[in-house]
């Protein structure tokens, strides 16, 4: 399989491990990625005029001839929204008037969906069974929104299917599709922090050993912010938060450095030791 | 709910940006019920829609709710009328910004868009540093984040420019026109 890859802005900074683990895992699974030439920001959640937002997404889409894959839910949602809105003839002609190349339609995919498709055909490469590992599937908001993407926005199950494919166990996680508040973190820190704290507490209550994410902003909020929240609430939370690509990488037997596991704030090393202990117990 | 006494020009601009279907709103409040930050808002999303349709420009634009939307899209998924309230909130932000109104939330968005226009991509470290000037209180979370991410090698300041910045600039200029 060959896909165009849209890394997104965070791939170069706060989401380095997302990008690294995506590239490593895709290479291991024989998914060939061709980075979009001269890609630009999708606008994330900070371009309020939707016509501009669609234009920014479309500028990236027209760089590719192949289906486009991204590992970031925000990019995924924006590119998908653009594809939907560009079906409206007036919107398409308006946007095409400013682009250097005509937009003619596109297929947008999230890495989760791509990996799951490959593993469902052939799971022989999964050499490390994540047996008994309790995983909280954190969808956040934009993986399934707007409607029409890889799964139902109200009752999504794709992450549970993914977790099951890795032989791990998904916990019942009530806030799995609740927004992390990340987009308002800078100007409204307190509001965002309260939301993140609720989500982490919910994962803890569900007995999760790890939370998996599909979005670099969710990841930043749940992982890099965890220590601050622990200090603020004077309690230990201590749940590692991994990208789906990092978790599948562990199951593929790939090394911590290839997956950027050293870049996570809450270390997943104790969890990985437990995985190997459970494996040798059998 | 036609804008009889209100500012019809404002209503029409919101409708142009957010879609004519906004006029079909039945004020059921599903958007507000779905909203993850509704409890923090002075006016619910439902009321922002009402203000917009009634041409109550000042009430709409002065509302803190405009800046509390996380863009999570749950309102949009659930609206029984197929209205996209998140895009309506975006329209209000856009009108606020185009009129030259200022506050710290607007400042963040403004810096974000300027960086896209200038470099084509976002450098988060650069953006946080620039935002400090607009909102000194953000120094706390910026420092905390910085201390957490720096040892992980996740803070990098990139000032490299993409080749297509002219195209990006014309996207903003042409598609963002009022």
Dihedral of CA B144/B153/A187/A184: which sign? Answer: negative
Q: Are B103 and B109 in contact (CB under 8 A)?
A: no
* Cβ pairs bridging A and B (under 8 Å): 184
Q: Please indicate whether, in this complex, the C-beta atoms of B72 and A179 are within 8 angstroms of each other.
A: yes
Dihedral of CA A263/A266/A267/A271: which sign? Answer: negative
Task: Say how far apart CA A118 and CA A82 lie, in whole Å.
Answer: 27
Q: Please indicate whether, in this complex, the C-beta atoms of B140 and A189 are within 8 angstroms of each other.
A: yes
Confidence of residue A281 (pLDDT cuts 50, 70, 90): confident
Q: What architecture is domain A123-281? A: 3-Layer(aba) Sandwich (3.40)
- Model pLDDT, residue B1: 53
For the segment A8-30, the average pLDDT, to the nearest whole number, is 97
In this complex, the residue of B40, B156, B174 whose CB is nearest that of residue A98 is B174
For the segment A83-108, the average pLDDT, to the nearest whole number, is 97
Q: Please indicate whether, in this complex, the C-beta atoms of B91 and A48 are within 8 angstroms of each other.
A: yes
Q: Does the pLDDT at position A267 exceed 90?
A: yes
Q: Please indicate whether, in this complex, the C-beta atoms of A145 and B89 are within 8 angstroms of each other.
A: no
> Which residues on B lie below 8 Å from A184 (Cβ)?
37, 67-70, 105
Question: pLDDT tens digits, residue range A202-243?
Answer: 999 999 999 999 999 999 999 999 999 999 999 999 999 999
Share of chain A above pLDDT 90, in %: 96
Q: Side-chain half-sphere of B157: how many Cα atoms within 13 Å?
A: 7
Task: Say how far apart CA A258 and CA B72 lie, in whole Å.
Answer: 32
Question: In terms of CA atoms, which chain B residue is nearest residue A193?
Answer: B141
Q: Please indicate whether, in this complex, the C-beta atoms of B116 and A54 are within 8 angstroms of each other.
A: no
- From chain A residues 135-174, the ones with a CB under 8 A of any chain B CB are 141-142, 145-147, 153-154
Low-confidence ranges of chain B (pLDDT < 70): 1-4
Left (φ > 0), alpha (ψ -120 to 50) or beta: where does B101 sit? beta
Question: Does the beta carbon of A185 lie under 8 angstroms from any beta carbon of chain B?
Answer: yes
Question: pLDDT tens digits, residue range A26-55?
Answer: 999 999 999 999 999 999 999 999 999 999
- Model pLDDT, residue B156: 85
The CATH number that domain B8-98 falls under is 1.10.1060.10
Question: In terms of CA atoms, which chain B residue is nearest residue A265?
Answer: B148
Task: Say how far apart CA B164 and CA A168 lie, in whole Å.
Answer: 44
What is the rounded average pLDDT for all residues in chain A? 96
- Model pLDDT, residue A271: 97
Question: In terms of CA atoms, which chain A residue is nearest residue B13?
Answer: A49
- From chain A residues 57-86, the ones with a CB under 8 A of any chain B CB are 59, 77
Question: In terms of CA atoms, which chain B residue is nearest residue A189?
Answer: B141
In this complex, the residue of B107, B149, B164 whose CB is nearest that of residue A14 is B149
Q: Please indicate whether, in this complex, the C-beta atoms of A46 and B175 are within 8 angstroms of each other.
A: no
- Model pLDDT, residue A241: 98
Q: Edge-to-edge strands of the sheet including A2-5?
A: A32-35, A2-5, A68-70, A108-110
- Model pLDDT, residue A282: 63
Confidence of residue A195 (pLDDT cuts 50, 70, 90): very high
Distance from CA of A8 to the nearest CA of B (A): 8
Q: For chain A, what is the HEC assignment?
A: CEEEECCCHHHHCCCHHHHHHHHHHHHHCCCEEEECCCCCCCCCCCCCCHHHHHHHHHHHHCCCCCCEEECCHHHHHHHHHHHHHCCCHHHHHHHHCCCCCCCCCCCEEEHHHHHHHHHHHCCCCCCCCCCCCEEEECCCCCCCCCCCCCCCCCCCCHHHHHHHHCCCEECCCCCCCCCCCHHHCCCCHHHHHHHHHHHHHHHHHCCCCEEEECCHHHHHHHHHCHHHHHHHHCCCCCCCEEEHHHHHHHHCCCCCCCCCHHHCCCCCHHHHHHHHHHHHHC
Q: Please indicate whether, in this complex, the C-beta atoms of B37 and A184 are within 8 angstroms of each other.
A: yes
- Model pLDDT, residue B5: 75
Q: Please indicate whether, in this complex, the C-beta atoms of B37 and A181 are within 8 angstroms of each other.
A: yes
Prediction pTM value: 0.97
Structure tokens at A236: 């230990």
- Model pLDDT, residue A187: 84
Listed in order, the ranges of chain B carrying CATH 1.10.1060.10 are: 8-98
> Which residues on B lie below 8 Å from A195 (Cβ)?
36-37
- Model pLDDT, residue B4: 56
Q: Please indicate whether, in this complex, the C-beta atoms of A145 and B77 are within 8 angstroms of each other.
A: yes
> Which residues on A lie below 8 Å from B36 (Cβ)?
178-179, 181, 195
- CA-based end-to-end distance of chain A: 35
Write the burial class of residue A256 (CB in 10 Å: 0-12 exposed, 13-18 middle, 19+ buried): middle
> Which residues on A lie below 8 Å from B91 (Cβ)?
48-50
- From chain A residues 189-218, the ones with a CB under 8 A of any chain B CB are 189, 191, 195
- Model pLDDT, residue A207: 97
ipTM: 0.95
Domain extent listing, chain A = 2-111, 123-281
Q: Are A135 and A171 in contact (CB under 8 A)?
A: yes
Greater model confidence, B134 or A96: A96
Q: How many CB atoms are closer than 10 A to CB A270?
A: 11
CATH T-level topology, domain A2-111: Glutathione S-transferase Yfyf (Class Pi); Chain A, domain 2 (1.20.1050)
């Amino acid at each position: 399989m060959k896909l165009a890859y849209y890394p997104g802005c965070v791939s170069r900074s706060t989401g380095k491990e997302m990008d690294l683990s995506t590239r490593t895992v895709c290479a291991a699974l024989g998914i060939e990625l061709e980075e979009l030439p001269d890609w630009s920001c999708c606008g994330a959640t900070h371009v309020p005029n939707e016509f501009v937002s669609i234009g920014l997404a479309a500028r990236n889409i027209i760089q590719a001839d192949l289906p486009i894959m991204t590992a970031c839910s925000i990019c995924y949602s924006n590119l998908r929204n653009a594809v939907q809105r560009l079906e409206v003839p007036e919107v398409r002609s308006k946007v095409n008037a400013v682009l250097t190349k005509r937009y003619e339609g596109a297929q947008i995919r999230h890495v989760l969906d791509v990996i799951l498709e490959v593993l469902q055909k052939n799971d022989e490469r999964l050499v490390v069974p994540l047996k008994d590992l309790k995983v909280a599937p954190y969808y956040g908001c934009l993986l399934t929104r707007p409607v029409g993407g890889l799964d139902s926005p109200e009752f999504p199950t794709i992450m549970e299917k993914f977790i099951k494919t890795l032989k791990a166990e998904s916990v019942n996680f009530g806030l799995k599709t609740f927004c992390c508040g990340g987009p308002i973190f800078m100007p409204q820190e307190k509001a965002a922090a309260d939301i993140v704290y609720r989500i982490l507490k919910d994962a803890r209550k569900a007995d999760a050993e790890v939370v998996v994410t599909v979005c670099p902003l969710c990841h930043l909020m749940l992982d890099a912010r965890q220590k601050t929240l622990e200090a603020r609430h004077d309690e230990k939370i201590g749940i590692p938060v991994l990208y789906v690509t990092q978790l599948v990488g562990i199951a593929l037997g790939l090394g911590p450095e290839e997956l950027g596991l050293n870049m996570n704030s809450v270390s997943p090393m104790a969890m990985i030791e437990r995985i190997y202990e459970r494996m040798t117990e059998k | 709910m036609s804008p009889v006494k209100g500012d019809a020009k404002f209503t029409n601009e919101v409708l142009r940006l957010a879609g004519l279907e906004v006029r079909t709103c039945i004020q059921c409040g599903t958007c507000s019920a779905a909203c993850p930050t509704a409890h923090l808002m002075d006016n619910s999303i439902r009321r922002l829609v009402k203000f917009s349709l009634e041409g109550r420009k000042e009430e709409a634009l002065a509302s803190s709710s405009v800046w509390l939307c996380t863009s999570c899209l749950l309102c949009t998924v659930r609206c029984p009328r197929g209205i996209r309230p998140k895009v309506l909130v975006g329209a209000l932000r856009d009108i606020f910004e185009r009129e030259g109104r200022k506050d710290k939330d607007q400042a963040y968005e403004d810096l974000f868009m300027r960086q896209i226009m200038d470099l084509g991509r976002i450098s988060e470290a650069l953006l946080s540093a620039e935002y400090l000037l607009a909102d000194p209180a953000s120094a706390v979370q910026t420092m905390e984040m910085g201390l957490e991410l720096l040892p992980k090698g996740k803070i990098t300041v990139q000032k490299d420019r993409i080749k297509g910045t002219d195209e990006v600039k014309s996207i903003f200029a042409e598609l963002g026109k009022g």
